[in-house]
Every structure is written in structure tokens, then in C-alpha cells.
């Protein structure tokens, strides 16, 4: 499902690929907007297309609870039809949410027993249930159901968790998905290179068409994560997509690209938008700041999106401080555009053999101004 368009050159491991799915091609590196409950918050589907979204995410845990995968399959034949999105969709396994959002989760060999964060109702999601839900959702890329151990954890705990994750991965593989669905394995093992390598090799024995890195950006130091990525990612199979789950900030994604990763997702651009934060080439900009009260300039002067070419900081600050819906809509649009454009520009630079320059220039400028602290 993967074609390498440009291999690493210079002082980096960055690569550009084309991934083929049943609903179209994805050109990497790619940022994938998160549509938790069959909607990327505040965004019309046509606006997602407008900013160049090639693939979006759906959340198994949330969609299972509401409105339920049976309803989505019955009404829309799956998530594509239900939400009217005909480009690729990736669904997570629900694992992360079961551990982080629900109450009273209990891990057994069968799966995770938890209480819904909505009404306290009791549920079990294990490998088979996660596959059943994702089959109903009809996503193009399906994630295996994995355990997400709380960090910090001892190596023994991490190994135990990894063993469980591997047994579950096999059960996911054995479940029959729709013909066109591609199941990705998830490499766990904390920051232990040996555990990660073992996990990856054993996932390779099961043989998945793509591999993800889970359990990162969950409490460890940023440097530790980046070091790990730099040492590990290039050892992953070249002919398979490499997906860094749930990370993260613009510079983290740029570092991930540099380390050789292809796919990224995070709620940061939309969540921070609703808190008034613009992602700009000069770093994060908090629109609430009083100094923007009379500022007639665009949020990000280097951005060509229709928010930055149309509206002033003063206007958007007014919308945000008065609690107007349009603030979240405009900032979400810009932030997603920003992330997607960053990955598109990175791809172009990789293909042109200028990624090191792109990285340095972007990084320095992004770090040079500290809007929010002024």
C-alpha cells in the first residue's frame, strides 16, 4: 500500500511516500485532523477538503458509545456515508480512550471492562469488539486494540503490557475485517529500544500492512521522545507506513518527519483553537492577549489561508472574548490549515532534497518569538 516517492537525503531520515487506500491516495508526510465524533470540531467537511485534508480520524470509543457503530453502518453504510466524507478515514482502536476517559477500567485477557464516561454503563472492549466496531465504521485504516500502560512504569510492567498487546494484535489480525480495510499494528515498549524492537519484530511476524508508534508523548521528557524517534524510526520496515499516534505540537511533528515518520494526528490544532490559540510561523499566538485589541494585521502574516487573508487579529480577538462561535470556527480552520501546509511544505522540501534547510528555518522562526509570554 506504500510507494516511497523520495528517500532521505542530507542530515535527516525524512521521506516522502504515497499510501494507497480504498478511498484514495495519501501523500506523506501527512497531518490527519481528528474527527472524534464523526465531525472535526467546528469544521464543515467541505472546509476540510478546502484546506487539503487527505485523511481524517474517527474515534472508536466515542462512536461506539454514541451513536453506536450499528447505527452508523445502518444509516450510512459506515462512517464515510454517515458523515459524508469520501476520502480516507483512519479509526483508532478505542484503547487509549478506554484507559484515559472511562471510569473503573479493569484489564483482563479478554479485554478492558470499563464504565462509560457518559452514563456509567458497563462495557467490555477487547480485540474482537474493537474490530467489530471498526468494521462497522468501515474505516480505510484500522488500528489494533492495544494496552496503554500508565507511565512511569517499570520495564517488567511494560514487557507484560507488550506481551498482552501482542496477543491482542494476533486476535485483531484473526478477525475478519472488510476486504478493503488495512489493519495497522502498534509498537509499544516505552522508551526501551530493546522492547520496542522486539515488539516490532513480533508484529512483523504477524504481518501488518502498516505500523504505528503508541505510548509516546504521555509523560516522558520531550528530548527523550525525540532521541528515541531518531534512533528507532529508521529501523522500521521501509515498505510500510509509519504512524506516530497522537503527537503533537508543530515542532514535534517536524522532528517526527525528520526521524522518518509518515503520518501524524493530534487534537491540538482544534482544541487549542477553541481556547484562542493560533499556531503561527512565529509560534503559538494567544488571541485573547490585550495587545491584539487594535491589531489590524492577520493572525499569521506568513499564512495564505482565508482566515489570515480576510480577518484581523482585532476582529478575531473580539469574537473570542465575547464568546462567539465564529472564533473557534476561524481559528480551527487556520490551525488545521497550518498543520497540513507544514507537512505539505515538508514533503516538497524532502522531494527537492532541501529538508534540512526547511527544518532549520521553520524551527528557528517558530522558536524565536514568545507571543504568549509577552
Q: Is 322 in the site for a second copy (CB under 8 A)?
A: yes
Closest CA to 125 of 134, 112, 143, 136: 112
Q: How far is CA 92 from CA 79, 112, 120, 148, in A?
A: 13, 15, 22, 13
Q: Does 319 bind a second copy (CB under 8 A)?
A: yes
Stretch that binds a second copy, among 89-97, 108-116, 322-330, 356-364 (CB under 8 A): 322-330
Residue 363 binds a second copy, judged by CB under 8 A: no
Please identify, using beta-carbon distances, which residue of 104 and 290 lies nearer to a second copy: 290
Any catalytic annotation for residue 194?
A: no
8 Å CB contact between 281 and 303: yes
173: three-class secondary structure by DSSP: helix
The region of 12-20, 126-134, 144-152, 315-323 touching a second copy under the rule CB under 8 A is: 315-323
Residue 35 or 241 with smaller CB distance to a second copy: 35
Q: Considering beta carbons, is residue 270 or 343 the nearer one to a second copy?
A: 270
Helix (H) or strand (E) holding 143: strand 141-143
Site map 49..88 versus a second copy, x via CB under 8 A: -----------------xx---x--xxx-----xxx----
Give the single-character DSSP code of 303: -
Q: Which is nearer to a second copy, 202 or 306 (CB)?
A: 306
Work out whether 187 is an interface residue with a second copy (CB under 8 A).
no
Handedness of CA 10, 13, 16, 17 (dihedral sign): positive
User: Per rule CB under 8 A, is residue 335 in the interface with a second copy?
Assistant: no
How many CB atoms sit inside 10 A of residue 108's CB? Answer: 10
- For a second copy, the binding residues in 132-151 under the rule CB under 8 A are none
Q: Which residue in the set 19, 42, 143, 199 belongs to the binding site for a second copy (CB under 8 A)?
A: 42
Say whether residue 296 binds a second copy (CB under 8 A): yes
Classified as helix, coil or strand, 247 is coil
Contacts of 226 (CB under 8 A, 6+ apart): 252, 255, 259
Active site residue 356: no
User: Which one among 20, 321, 344, 354 touches a second copy, defined by CB under 8 A?
Assistant: 321
- 200 to 20, 118, 137: CA distances (angstroms): 22, 35, 27
Name the segment binding a second copy (CB under 8 A); options: 99-107, 248-256, 281-289, 312-320.
312-320
Cβ 196 to a second copy shortest distance, Å:
36
Q: Per residue, what are the HEC states of 35-86?
A: ECCCCCCCCCHHHHHHCCCCCEEECHHHHHHCCCHHHHHHHHCCHHHHHCCC
Determine which one of 92, 140, 146, 262 is catalytic: 92
Give yes or no for a contact between 213 and 245, defined as CB atoms under 8 angstroms apart. yes
Contact call for residue 298 and a second copy (CB under 8 A): no
Q: Of the residues 140, 262, 265, 300, which is catalytic?
A: 265
Per CB under 8 A, the list member of 5, 6, 37, 107 interacting with a second copy is 37
**Residue 328 binding a second copy, by CB under 8 A:** yes
Phi first, then psi, for residue 103 (nearest 5°) are -95, 150
Residue 304: all three cell numbers together: 495564505
CB neighbour class for 367 (10 Å; exposed up to 12, middle 13-18, buried from 19): exposed
Cβ proximity to a second copy: between 46 and 156 the closer is 46
**Active-site amino acid positions:** 92, 265
Kindly list the residues in this chain that would bind a second copy in the complex (CB under 8 A): 37-39, 41-46, 66-67, 71, 74-76, 82-84, 293-294, 296, 306, 310-312, 314-315, 318-319, 321-322, 324-326, 328-330
Amino acid at each position: 500500500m506504500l510507494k516511497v516517492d523520495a528517500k532521505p537525503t542530507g542530515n535527516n531520515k525524512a521521506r516522502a511516500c504515497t499510501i494507497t487506500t480504498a478511498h484514495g491516495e495519501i501523500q506523506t508526510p501527512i497531518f490527519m485532523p481528528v474527527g472524534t465524533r464523526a465531525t472535526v470540531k467546528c469544521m464543515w467537511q467541505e472546509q476540510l477538503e478546502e484546506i487539503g485534508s487527505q485523511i481524517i480520524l474517527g474515534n472508536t470509543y466515542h462512536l461506539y458509545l454514541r451513536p453506536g457503530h450499528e447505527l452508523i453502518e445502518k444509516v450510512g453504510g459506515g462512517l464515510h456515508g454517515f458523515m459524508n466524507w469520501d476520502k480516507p478515514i483512519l479509526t483508532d482502536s478505542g484503547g487509549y480512550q478506554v484507559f484515559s476517559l472511562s471510569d473503573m477500567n479493569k484489564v483482563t485477557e479478554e479485554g478492558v471492562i470499563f464504565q462509560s464516561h457518559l452514563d456509567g454503563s458497563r462495557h467490555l472492549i477487547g480485540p474482537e469488539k474493537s474490530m467489530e466496531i471498526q468494521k462497522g465504521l468501515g474505516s480505510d485504516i484500522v488500528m489494533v486494540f492495544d494496552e496503554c500502560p500508565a507511565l512511569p512504569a517499570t520495564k517488567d510492567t511494560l514487557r507484560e503490557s507488550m506481551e498482552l498487546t501482542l496477543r491482542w494484535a494476533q486476535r485483531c489480525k484473526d478477525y475478519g475485517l472488510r476486504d478493503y480495510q488495512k489493519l495497522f499494528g502498534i509498537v509499544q515498549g516505552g522508551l526501551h529500544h530493546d522492547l520496542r524492537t522486539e515488539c516490532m519484530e513480533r508484529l512483523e511476524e504477524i504481518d501488518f500492512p502498516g505500523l504505528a508508534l503508541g505510548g509516546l508523548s504521555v509523560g516522558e521528557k520531550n528530548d527523550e521522545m525525540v532521541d528515541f524517534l531518531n534512533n528507532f524510526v529508521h529501523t522500521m520496515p521501509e515498505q510500510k507506513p509509519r504512524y506516530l499516534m497522537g503527537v503533537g505540537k508543530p515542532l514535534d511533528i517536524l522532528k517526527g518527519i525528520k526521524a522518518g515518520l509518515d503520518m501524524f494526528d493530534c487534537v491540538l490544532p482544534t482544541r487549542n483553537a477553541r481556547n484562542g490559540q493560533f499556531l503561527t510561523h512565529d509560534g503559538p499566538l494567544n488571541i485573547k492577549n490585550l495587545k491584539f485589541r487594535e491589531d489590524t494585521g492577520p493572525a499569521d502574516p506568513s499564512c495564505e489561508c482565508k482566515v489570515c487573508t480576510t480577518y484581523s487579529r482585532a476582529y478575531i480577538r473580539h469574537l473570542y472574548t465575547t464568546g462567539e462561535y465564529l472564533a473557534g470556527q476561524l481559528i480551527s480552520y487556520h490551525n488545521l490549515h497550518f498543520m497540513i501546509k507544514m507537512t505539505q511544505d515538508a514533503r516538497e522540501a524532502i522531494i527537492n532534497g532541501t529538508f534540512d534547510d526547511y527544518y532549520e528555518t521553520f524551527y528557528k522562526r517558530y522558536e524565536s518569538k514568545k507571543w504568549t509570554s509577552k
